Structure 1
């Protein structure tokens, strides 16, 4: 038999198999509710391709990768049907921290066994929980979320098949991921791009402005440096209280902060043998910020009156809206200034840009007691986080420290 007649069909079959494994994707998104106002998509095949390419070009990591896989457990045998696009969504009217996802299961019993190996607590009625991750299993579906508030409602929607099937092309365009904000029929998309030592989230391909701001801010040494105009103050206040931006009359915000470890005195009382009350002092190290916050206002008197109405200013002119005490709030002709009294910080000159720059600090992740070793390791690897805005263009950059391995192999 002619070898060419055998090889050619094999090559064609291999090419078809590679296409379906690497390039062909099911773009039907079935699990995004109608009342979702934000969606995160992860292109699993693209991320997997990036991982395999990085692994192939870093052979020194091959042996370490095997050991890691054995210790953490593999999703391959977990009973999950791995999707082409992982769909994570936020429901309108819920807290900003509440996000949900729906997983398809090939074998629910295998998945339950996998959860037990990962130390999930069985809460009964096919409900499981580990820390702030909540799961409910029904047949060949699992609804997961950072809250249990909407699990049952989402499960009912899946059962009634009331969710509209959406097209992935409306949300993501050849990037590792995307985050989209939905308002009626309008969808605003931000790409999520994973590079060797940074993650970028943006709605514009031009990052020159953000990089220029980052270059200037990196020359400083403050933990926090931010500058926001009226529109950005309004956008960020929506995460906390929609009325703050308008009621406070704030039109500009400049703030800087540093972290410091200080001794905290704890006073308790004991009784001696004669039942006399004896004061006992103990000391512990805590991390607190030193800061200065400058708020420019259209009407400083109204700003002051608003803070007083919220009971954020006490009789000693301390701003209690910030939990880090002691501080002092003062009014001037342009607005109000809040300063920590221990070590107030002199504000740097205005950059006339909209940005939030957070520089990593060992005091930050060492003080986060609720985080596990893996989370602390990831946070410790971050160099800085930067948000920037210019007109209708927005960027977020998570910059990691330079390392021998790209992020996808480190994290």
Structure 2
């Protein structure tokens, strides 16, 4: 009887401990500024649970799990406190490439030692950098970002202001691995992020049939890039680059097709001989460039042409200079303008009257990205295609990986 009295409380304590370790989540998000316009959340416990389940289900990966285990352990021992929700945000009126996150530290000195081991450069004043990752340690916190331009503002707003706004995770994420949310005033538009065996999906609607119909129409081709966008989608995407271009160009639809080609590029330089005569020297290098066709339908082709001229995007030879890949030719018709590369003709994809952007993988793409690490190149080479689709108020992005023996969570 005494043993039973002891076992029952121990079991209850075990259940409570498992609940807090595996299921309980702190849903108070303290590290998102009020002027954030985009928020990405990753459910750390769900991610770990999915990883462990996949690991158990694929014994073939166990032999190679030692390295991953050591890497994971070293990260856990780095002095960082793993949050229940990793909070990544973009601040309004900053560059699209600027993303930030704030992490809590259990031991700042241990974290600094970890950064040195990972070959981060010490820039002084507790600031560190490696490639495009910037870090700043402030007391028991670390501000991380793809830029350091907003570090001081983030420090004042989130770390020095005791009355900063605390967000509720339920406003952004609902039982999914992750979410990406766009904030506009009081409105929050949420998109779920799901990691499957060989694909990542980002969507705001669970009705898969809408996007399966789009995917089935376009997956038969072999072009590197195919896209069709209506006026609203053009306006949405132009916000990332130039807020006024969509309206100023009077574009009502955009259709484009592109392929990649490797060509020999001639570099001309000059040297001097022993008599100080100038001697031309030619060298050759292989570069990757696209062959493309872009059809812009417009409400007023004349105004579209005039807008491009006002931006000095059309030169005297009717080349569209806003596209750096030359040579090309721009022409005007009653319905719009067409821009085509002239080096090699492109077989245009059929008109589908859908909103989509499809990038297919191509060895010429990642082989030319020399600045990427071997790991980044391996991940890119593993991708089959990236597809964006839109129908009314439903949006969807799929990153499809090539079929493999292991699910993505064990491959990447």
Partner of 1:251: 252
State the secondary structure of the residue aligned to 2:76. coil
Partner of 1:167: 168
Partner of 2:154: 154
State the secondary structure of the residue aligned to 1:403. coil
The superposition leaves residues 374-395 of structure 1 with CA deviations (integer Å, 9 ceiling, x where unpaired) of: 1000000000000000000000
Question: What are the residue-to-residue correspondences of 1:220-239 with 2, within 5 Å?
Answer: 220-239=221-240
Q: Decide which moves more: 217-226 or 9-18.
A: 9-18
Shift of 1:162: 3.7
The superposition leaves residues 193-236 of structure 1 with CA deviations (integer Å, 9 ceiling, x where unpaired) of: 11010000001011212122222222110000000000000000
Native 8 Å contact 1:304 1:331 kept in 2: yes
Native 8 Å contact 1:225 1:255 kept in 2: yes
Shift of 1:63: 2.3
- Establish whether residue 354 from structure 1 lines up as the match of residue 376 from structure 2: no
Partner of 2:103: 103
Q: Partners of 2:286 and 2:13 in 1: how far apart?
A: 65
Give the alignment's Cα RMSD to 1 decimal.
Answer: 1.1
Question: What are the residue-to-residue correspondences of 1:71-110 with 2, within 5 Å?
Answer: 74-110=74-110
In structure 1, stretches of 5+ residues that fail to align are: none
The superposition leaves residues 224-276 of structure 1 with CA deviations (integer Å, 9 ceiling, x where unpaired) of: 00000000000000000001000000000000000010000000001111110
Question: What are the residue-to-residue correspondences of 1:203-222 with 2, within 5 Å?
Answer: 203-222=204-223
Shift of 1:72: 7.7
Question: What are the residue-to-residue correspondences of 1:102-141 with 2, within 5 Å?
Answer: 102-141=102-141
Q: Partners of 2:293 and 2:3 in 1: how far apart?
A: 78
Shift of 1:163: 2.1
Q: Partners of 2:304 and 2:86 in 1: how far apart?
A: 44
Q: Partners of 2:230 and 2:196 in 1: how far apart?
A: 30
Q: Partners of 2:193 and 2:247 in 1: how far apart?
A: 31
Q: Partners of 1:92 and 1:227 in 2: how far apart?
A: 28
Partner of 2:180: 179
Partner of 2:267: 266
Q: Partners of 2:45 and 2:191 in 1: how far apart?
A: 19
Partner of 2:337: 336
State the secondary structure of the residue aligned to 1:148. coil
In structure 2, stretches of 5+ residues that fail to align are: none
Q: Partners of 1:67 and 1:135 in 2: how far apart?
A: 26
State the secondary structure of the residue aligned to 1:181. strand
Q: Partners of 2:72 and 2:172 in 1: how far apart?
A: 31
Shift of 1:3: 4.0
Q: Partners of 1:120 and 1:73 in 2: how far apart?
A: 19
State the secondary structure of the residue aligned to 1:409. helix
The superposition leaves residues 296-346 of structure 1 with CA deviations (integer Å, 9 ceiling, x where unpaired) of: 000000000000000100111000010110000000111000000011213
State the secondary structure of the residue aligned to 2:75. coil
Partner of 1:57: 57
Native 8 Å contact 1:248 1:303 kept in 2: yes
